[in-house]
Structure 1
Amino acid sequence: MDLKLSRLDYFTLQVLVGLYELKNGTCLAVKLDVAQPKVSRALSTIREVFNDEMFVRKQYGFEPNELAIRIYPFAKKVIDGYQQIQLAAQNNCEQKRIVNIATLDYNTNLLHRSVVAVSKKLALNTVVNIIPWSDEIQKQITSGKVDYSITINPVENDKIMSAKIADVKKFYIVARKGHPIFEKTFGYSDLISNSFVLINYARVGLKKRAIEHYVEKHGGTMDIVLKTNSLNNALSFVSSNDCICISATETVLEHVVGRDDLQYQDTSEFWATHVMADLAPAVRQHSQYLQGRVEGDIVFFNELVLAMRDGLVKLQKCLSAINQQDSLSSIEEHH
């Protein structure tokens, strides 16, 4: 006899077990949080599959017949198995929290270390999903597609919470090792006599960099051969020619230090005394912010801000030590 057991889905088995235990269709509908007719349809399916009445209607509900009594233990085990599967799946989701963060590649190392530190502190097993930063980032955050982003001078949005990570105060030039630019102090004349690669930092709207405003204000023209969102692309490009990459923030140097084909120079003093001082306040100040949805996890957000600030301080100390060591090595070479 073909019983067509494939028709006994999870809900139908819930009705079979529930009617046996509660003996009342109305109570079962309340327990399962469904309408009464849905329970009735499931009972009809049970009767069709087994070609048997299964549950006999009485004055105050249902009574299982002999076949229902024999089948109940097996159906109960199946339901228990489903619940174990559901529990295992829920535990897995709880243990592996996926955090979607949009940033440009120069911040990925600091960001990953910070998320790991926060996850450890909050006892979370977190998977970091790095998403390329785009100009539409605020829409992605408010729609829930992205949890957090790192943005330069973000536009205010009442649906998004923002917290400053740090002001951008460090500026560097990066070029191939042995480039003539490193033989002298960097200045305005270098800006109009070399070719440059600029990184489009995470700012909403396609805006000119401060250095471009500075050169234009002084009547000069920069030879910009490449603008890119990718630091890795910029570094690969300048490593094979005489172009110079202008970069900012210490996180950039994590990708430069240790490479045998690249060299860098700290030009922060030139930027502070010439470039920034010569520009309007609206163009002058740049700061990195962490952004997230207002309805998001405020605890994780605040901890991540603190972790990134702390991580940036540690990175600054590390790079300072490396620079001091490089200076000592250079002095020893000249003696």
Structure 2
Amino acid sequence: MKLDQLNYNQLKVLLAVYKHGQGHQAANELGMTASAVSRTLKGLRDIFKDSLFVRRSCGLIPTEKTNQLIPLAKKLVDQYQQIEQHYSVFTPEESGGQFTILAYDEFVYAVQKVVNDCILPEAPNLKFEIRTLSHDCTAEVANGDIDFMVVYEGFEGKNLNWDMFAETGDIYILANHRHPILAKKPNLADISRYPLLELDNYNDLTCPLLVNLCREVGQEMEVAGYTDSVATAMRLLAESNSITLSCNQFTRNFVEMVPQVDYVKLPDELARLVRERRCTERDVGNYILYGDINNSASFNWVKSKLIYGLEREWRLAAER
């Protein structure tokens, strides 16, 4: 083996191909061309005198030697990244790579806007995959398969880091624009008269908050259904007498573009009760989650841009 020829870039390619099982996906993550990844793999095969990956219909399958190398390669890359983080000069315009961001439906547009307006103008070579989150992916965030998640506070998982970009303040009832609930400040007796359409992501609550609050004052509230799609919720609200609860300023802004749906702010005391019932181990608010696998300068730069950008977008949305 020609180990004296082994370098940081080759190790990153090895880990990326192992992670994705596809050369082109590894290339996207690293900001390389697929042919450059192929050339790097050829060099690695020469160094280790092993095919390293076997091509199958399902992708590139690691050999036994690759499986043995991966833990050591991860340790070496982590050391390189620490050196890179502390001693290299980071220039966004020259940085490459791909980041995967999963977000609740309510946050996807804001995330895309931050990427387009705040990140890409400074770092045009970065690539982003932004998708809607509909199930618990905290394990993938912790192990580095997903770079960031944008969620509410009700999350669990080991080896997670998080930063709050906005506290939950005002809370709203959304309904058909002609709905009686919008005519005055709603109380629980009024609210309980109408079916609840729950905007439900991967829900950590066994029962919707409004249903529980109504029960506490001796009222029963029917649950009309659940959806994790804001667009679907707007259609259903427009076509029925259901109501929904939202604490998201981005959702409220979206409602303003839907003529058939409107909102009313919950009275402060009722909003306080909702926040109190929603408390978990963290403050009630909106968070960016990330693992501790990637400590590169580009990762930390993107993270800081996301936190700042989403905080700014939330503030602007709240002021409208």
TM-score by length of 1: 0.60
In structure 2, the CA distance between the partners of 1:198 and 1:270, relative to structure 1 (3 Å rule), is farther
Alignment partner, residue 284 of structure 2: 286
In structure 2, the CA distance between the partners of 1:146 and 1:220, relative to structure 1 (3 Å rule), is same
Q: Aligned-pair distance for 1:35?
A: 6.2
Unmatched 5+ residue regions in structure 1? 1-31, 39-93, 320-335
Alignment partner, residue 17 of structure 2: none
Q: Aligned-pair distance for 1:295?
A: 2.1
Instruction: Describe the SS at the equivalent of 2:287.
Output: strand
Alignment partner, residue 148 of structure 1: 148
In structure 2, the CA distance between the partners of 1:219 and 1:285, relative to structure 1 (3 Å rule), is farther
Q: Aligned-pair distance for 1:162?
A: 0.8
Q: Aligned-pair distance for 1:260?
A: 1.7
In structure 2, the CA distance between the partners of 1:307 and 1:281, relative to structure 1 (3 Å rule), is closer
Which structure is higher in helix share? 1
In structure 1, what is the Cα distance between the partners aligned to 2:140 and 2:109?
23
Choose which of 302, 305, 310 in structure 1 pairs with 2:304: 302
Instruction: Describe the SS at the equivalent of 2:240.
Output: coil
**Conserved 8 A contact 2:189-2:219:** no
In structure 2, the CA distance between the partners of 1:281 and 1:136, relative to structure 1 (3 Å rule), is closer
Q: Aligned-pair distance for 1:257?
A: 0.6
Alignment partner, residue 189 of structure 1: 189
Residue type at the aligned position of 1:239? A
Q: Aligned-pair distance for 1:217?
A: 2.0
Q: Aligned-pair distance for 1:218?
A: 2.0
- Tell me, yes or no, if structure 1 residue 265 matches structure 2 residue 264: yes
Residue type at the aligned position of 2:248? T
Alignment partner, residue 210 of structure 2: 211
Residue type at the aligned position of 1:310? R
In structure 2, the CA distance between the partners of 1:185 and 1:300, relative to structure 1 (3 Å rule), is same
Residue type at the aligned position of 1:174? L
In structure 2, the CA distance between the partners of 1:165 and 1:284, relative to structure 1 (3 Å rule), is closer
In structure 2, the CA distance between the partners of 1:35 and 1:191, relative to structure 1 (3 Å rule), is closer
Instruction: Describe the SS at the equivalent of 2:99.
Output: strand
What per-residue deviation string (whole Å, max 9, x for no partner) do you get for residues 39-97 of structure 1?
A: xxxxxxxxxxxxxxxxxxxxxxxxxxxxxxxxxxxxxxxxxxxxxxxxxxxxxxx8874
RMSD (Å) for aligned C-alpha atoms: 3.0
**Conserved 8 A contact 1:152-1:202:** no
Q: Give me the identity figure in percent.
A: 15
In structure 2, the CA distance between the partners of 1:275 and 1:293, relative to structure 1 (3 Å rule), is closer
- Tell me, yes or no, if structure 1 residue 255 matches structure 2 residue 257: no
In structure 1, what is the Cα distance between the partners aligned to 2:302 and 2:282?
31
In structure 1, what is the Cα distance between the partners aligned to 2:236 and 2:49?
68
Q: Aligned-pair distance for 1:195?
A: 1.1
